[in-house]
Structure 1
Amino acid sequence: MTDASSIDDTPTTGQKFAAEVLGTFVLVFFGVGAALMSGGDYITTGLTFGLTVVVMAYAVGRISGGHFNPAVTLGAVLGGRLPWSSVPVYVGAQLVGGLIAGALLFGLMHGFEGYTSEGNIGANAFGDQSASNYAMWAAFALEALLTMVFLYVILAVTDERNELQALMGPLAIGLALSMIHFASMGATGTSVNPARSIGVGVFGGTDAIIQLWLFILAPLVGAAIAGLTYPLVFGHGSEPVSGSGLSFGGGRGQQATYAPPAGYEQQWNQGQPPQQWQAPAAPPQQQGWGQQTPAQQWAQPPAQPPTQAAPPAQTAPQHWGQPAGQPPAQEWGQPIEDDGEDGRTQVRRPD
């Protein structure tokens, strides 16, 4: 039977990729789907986007951290929570999930007679493409600002110093996303997520594709500001992850002071504890009688010297002058046998 403690519960890269694909797909499909099916109802759409984050963060957040958003990934990297080497996996998975959701929405919406996707796929927009003719500069500023606030919330509730992070973190993040939608849907349709914008925007026609740059760049700018300034304002809850922040080759504050021993990561991923350091045993000629080597545990009996013969077993103490091999002298008060003529047992007094 396999020992439960030996099971490796460290998520693999493939599992993280799958978790981000699934989470981003659910976010885009249900969030944008609710907007399409409800005719853009504020309450329905805003709450649905928030609920998707809550549900999927609780479901797969333990695997990948539950980003579902390239802006969140960028903020996490610049905030010292994730190494740069993980960015291609996370962002690639998020784009795949968003595009799958957009493609399915595009196909399913054609079930309505006379449906056309151009201007009716839930794409983000500004200027004359938006319902309110919202100015480009204002759209950029709004998306960057809301993403910055969103990242501040995420970094704060996932801070190790926050005792309620595991229980209340996903709920706070989901409510923050709903709050953001309530404040911006009438202007840009609310992005704060390049994967959400790309996922449906590529199916919204030429005008929607042309405007995608703003809904990619503005959220990334807001996330970068939050990721860089959160540690400066509130400090790090723990040491930055190696290879994160502005250091592309190693972790801030720990690269120069800590380097894991060879094979440490492999042992960790296999669920085995790292080997404890042991000092090399001293050469035999330098060890004295009864001296323990550093690897010996406390209270362990010392090793016998290799050249020392084991002392002979003593049967009883011999008296001075008594020939070797003779029966041992009897102690005082013990009866001795006497072969005398009277055959009586005698008691020998002490010498």
Structure 2
Amino acid sequence: MTLKKAAKAAAVVITLLVFVFLGLLIFVTVKEYRPQKKETVKKSHGNKTITREEPFTLLSLNTGYAGLGRDEDFFMDGGTKVRPDSKEQVEENMAGIAGMLKENKADAYFLQEVDLNSKRSYSTNQKTYYENALGLGGMFAYNFKVAYAPYPWPPIGHVESGLTTLTNSKVNRAERIALPESFSWPLKTCNLKRCLLKTRLPIEGSKAELVLINLHLEAYDSGEGKEAQSKMLLKVLEEEYKKGNYVIAGGDFNQTFEGITKYPIRNKKDWVPGAIGNEILPEGFRFAVDDTYPTCRLLNKPYEKDSQVYVIDGFIVSPNVKVEQVNVINYHFQYTDHQPVRLKVRLQ
């Protein structure tokens, strides 16, 4: 082949690649998930009534789309994998997660990273699975919905995932509240759209409501996103409390909590969580966290005794909510990269 022909062939290949890239960019931009600032969520139909006389229990768990068991790593944390090797592994993790939830009964469950139909979890409908396993109704809010995420290789592909709140209590209303976005175009077209899943529960003999807020804040930004989302979260909490309601927010903050020093950051070359301090809380609000065991591990490699671990999952409660107990339940990261956190409170 002459130099002229080789240059021509190279130009054709480059032109084709440019057209493919532009076509993909147009596709993901057109298909971008664009939720409203507030959207009503279909509520579950429980029959239990909350009272001030009885304690209320909550359990929060990031389920890692049933794809991040103890033998997995993840490319965004310094590992290499995008998804488990088989659907059977996902189904085994789902069964294990459901078992953990059933072993630690609660009045409501906050679950994060629950897939409806995603390539990474072999198109399993995890919301329905957990509802059926626990015999509870669930509410769902998308926080990751993309027609096709073209990275890394093999690509993530199609994703439908979000927050699920399960409860047998009566529900007045459920709502998705959009949080500030952390990324600009074109990255935002294939990135998470973080949100709060706010659920209102009536209280017997009271006009006040128990407002439950399930959350999963930004993980992979440079810090500004987490800060903006945290501030908006606290604004929502304060607004609800000023209305006379009881408020509990919980989930995966992707931030370490002030005063928790048991698990220092040793690995600073891979993913490092943010930090959130008590000074950001509205007056009278408090964190409810436990450091008996870590709540999350780094996914740069399969879980080992020397793995980097953190406490980044917990709760925030309003001044009229008395915390009686909060504890991390240790399952050694068997079925997901997080551990359950259980909260027991009384309404003052």
TM-score of the superposition, structure 1-length normalised?
A: 0.22
Q: Which has the larger radius of gyration?
A: 1
Higher strand share: 2
Higher helix share: 1
